[in-house]
């Protein structure tokens, strides 16, 4: 092999490594977007569930709030104080 062949081979390897890095970065960015979407969906589901539980408790207590605050309401009250 000549010096040019070696140089071309090394350059090709370098380009392959750069492309592999770009593919990994793209895959990681895609996974990050998917996880962010799942977190948003989880937060929305949690909020919806809390509303349903509160409505069910009011139904069970004939329209009145329970004697003790619900755990997430109590945490929110302490956090805002």
- Around 33, how many Cα atoms within 13 Å sit in the side-chain half-sphere? 5
Query: What are the pLDDT digits (tens) for 63-79?
Result: 777 778 888 777 777 78
Q: What sign for the dihedral angle of Cα 55, 61, 64, 66?
A: negative
- Who has greater pLDDT, 60 or 20? 20
- Take residue 55 and report the two structure tokens written for it: 């409505």
Reported pTM: 0.65
Say if CB 72 and CB 80 are below 8 A apart.
no
């Amino acid at each position: 092999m000549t010096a040019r062949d070696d140089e071309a081979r090394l350059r090709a390897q370098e380009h392959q490594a750069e492309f592999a890095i770009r593919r990994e970065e793209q895959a990681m960015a895609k996974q990050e977007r998917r996880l962010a979407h799942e977190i948003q969906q989880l937060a929305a589901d949690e909020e919806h569930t809390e509303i349903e539980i509160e409505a069910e408790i009011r139904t069970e207590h004939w329209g009145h709030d329970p004697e003790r605050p619900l755990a997430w309401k109590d945490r929110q009250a302490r956090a805002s104080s």
